Chain A
């Protein structure tokens, strides 16, 4: 099942409403990474409200997705992680290193707006 990717101003929004197979996930990752370049987006919001289960592969794919998008010049925020999923992730030691998260879509947009153009270089700090 192909997850729709919506373009909203400078941002791309992808909302996951059901359980995804590994293939769906990598497919979503590839499309997002590609479209960030095409639309010159500044940020990506990935809404995972619909994901009731997240295994290690899913977490790793999301983390890679965020890092790849970072390398392509945009910021990814993952929003809507379910409480049970969050708890399971911590218990299993699955971390989303360096990836910002927010409660829901609204918070995610607010985070991106706040951090717009706020990247600093080591030599310029």
Chain B
């Protein structure tokens, strides 16, 4: 069984490759919160590639659940907390114009000062929240 860090590295490299493919073919940033948000009001005009991209992600999730269910972990919080988490993630990523893929992968790669601030901020509040929740 390969070590955890190797999975992380390879998975990360594939994420980077996927984002690069989207940029080469469509000239777009692979920011998941952005692509998802553009399929909600106000709807983007060019929904073709966005729906296809989302479809690819979901299809892999569906297949993954069947062939490699161990790769999807169980939730560690109660349902009410998961719902609160979802609301915060949805509201926050839209307000902040990005998430770990948009600001983290793409923004940092471009040396974007906006993304550097965003990543520093969400990493900080993420660490504080998880650490507090773990201590409580």
Q: Do A and B come from one complex?
A: no
Interface residues of A (CB under 8 A from B): none
B interface list, Cβ under 8 A from A: none
